[in-house]
Amino acid sequence: MSKKLSVPGVDVSWKDITPGGIVEAGTCREFKTGDWRSVKPVWKQDACKQCLLCFPVCPDSSIPINKDGKREDFDYDYCKGCGVCANVCPFHAIDMVDED
């Protein structure tokens, strides 16, 4: 006997679905959610002017800044591939590429 598949929003209410891992604000560092992405940003260090416009717009704090105030490569454990950083970069120092 096969089990009928339920479709959220049709057969199942949002109240019946098990909550995901991030259920409270400020807990994203407790969960490595980078595997959610289908595209990822690639930093082109040679094109980067260190203007840091990308840093404050990253919703996942995936752009580390070192002790000298310079940005470093992405922290892919937390980057979800939203592309906001690439959209704000005036120097085209971030490319969005398909996740391998």
Of 7-11, 32-36, 53-57, 59-63, the least confident:
7-11
Global confidence as pTM? 0.70
User: Cα–Cα distances in Å, from 31 out to 8, 43, 76, 78, 84?
Assistant: 24, 23, 12, 8, 21
- The pair of structure tokens assigned to 40 is 């990822």
Instruction: Give the mean pLDDT of the chain.
Output: 82
Q: Which residues constitute the domain of residue 47?
A: 30-100
- Per the domain annotation, does 9 fall within a domain? no
Asked whether residue 5 is assigned to any structural domain, the reply reads no
Number of domains composing the chain: 1
Q: Tell me which residue of 86, 76, 88 sits closest to 33, measured CA to CA.
A: 76
CATH number of domain containing 57: 3.30.70.20
